[in-house]
């Protein structure tokens, strides 16, 4: 129970974590639904992401540390769907869509495939890049298989956290991948 209360205090203070569930997989295996049960995320409909910071691999720009202000003001949205049906969000429109730089997933489905992060890994990476490493660790701690995500990606995550623009992210990606 203390983790639940502590986590909510962190979210209320720093920004709210939202997710859109696309019903493309087994809801019992949804990492974001589990985070909701822990009080770490709130489900919203897809049409409510417009002014919020949201993650999409189709964005032209990367998430960088300075986006933390937008997170604090508007919240962060993770779209929870299947990589096999990723094209369903290709035309997702909103003014604050950002993509994550490449990282190595540790999830059982896409282990070791650069960039194919689970929703949980994407959320943790975004939080870490924006400077919320403790909250990223708290989020990751809810799944035993995810424990090594930050450890596996610690060097690129620390470097991505220092990036201030897209060209910085591209340079760092090139170094690691």
Q: What is the mean pLDDT of the chain?
A: 86
Q: Percent of the chain, pLDDT > 70?
A: 84
The helix/strand/coil state of 17 is strand
Give CA–CA dist 135/124, Å, rounded.
8
Band of the pLDDT at 12, cuts 50, 70, 90?
very low
pTM: 0.87
> Which residues, at least 6 apart from 47, have a Cβ–Cβ distance to it below 8 Å?
none
The model's pLDDT over 97-108, given as tens digits with 9 standing for 90+, comes to 999 999 999 998
Q: Between 159 and 25, where is the model more confident? A: 159
* Degrees to nearest 5, angle at CA 94 with 88 and 95: 145
The model's pLDDT over 116-170, given as tens digits with 9 standing for 90+, comes to 999 999 999 999 999 999 999 999 999 999 989 999 999 999 999 999 999 999 9
From residue 53, alpha-carbon distances to 18, 109, 112, 127 in Å are 10, 26, 27, 12
Whether residue 55 contacts residue 99, with contact meaning beta carbons closer than 8 Å, is answered with yes
Q: Which helix (H) or strand (E) holds 76?
A: strand 76-80
Q: Percent of the chain, pLDDT > 90?
A: 63
- Find the distance separating the first CA and the last CA of the chain, reported in whole Å: 40
* Degrees to nearest 5, angle at CA 134 with 131 and 136: 75
């Amino acid at each position: 129970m203390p983790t639940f209360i502590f986590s909510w205090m962190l979210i209320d203070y720093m920004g709210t974590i939202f997710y859109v569930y696309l019903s493309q997989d087994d809801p019992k295996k949804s990492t974001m639904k589990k985070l909701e049960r822990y009080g770490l995320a709130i489900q919203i409909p897809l049409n409510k992401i417009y002014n919020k910071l949201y993650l999409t691999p189709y964005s032209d720009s990367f998430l960088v540390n300075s986006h933390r202000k937008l997170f604090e003001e508007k919240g962060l949205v993770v779209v929870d769907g299947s990589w096999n049906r990723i094209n369903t969000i290709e035309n997702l429109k909103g003014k604050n869509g950002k993509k994550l730089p490449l990282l190595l997933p540790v999830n059982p489905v896409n282990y070791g495939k650069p960039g194919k992060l689970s929703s949980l890994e994407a959320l943790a990476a975004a939080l870490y890049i924006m400077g919320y490493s403790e909250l990223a660790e708290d989020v990751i701690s809810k799944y035993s298989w995810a424990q090594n995500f930050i450890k596996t990606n610690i060097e690129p995550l620390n470097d991505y956290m220092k990036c201030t623009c897209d060209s910085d992210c591209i340079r760092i990606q090139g170094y690691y991948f």
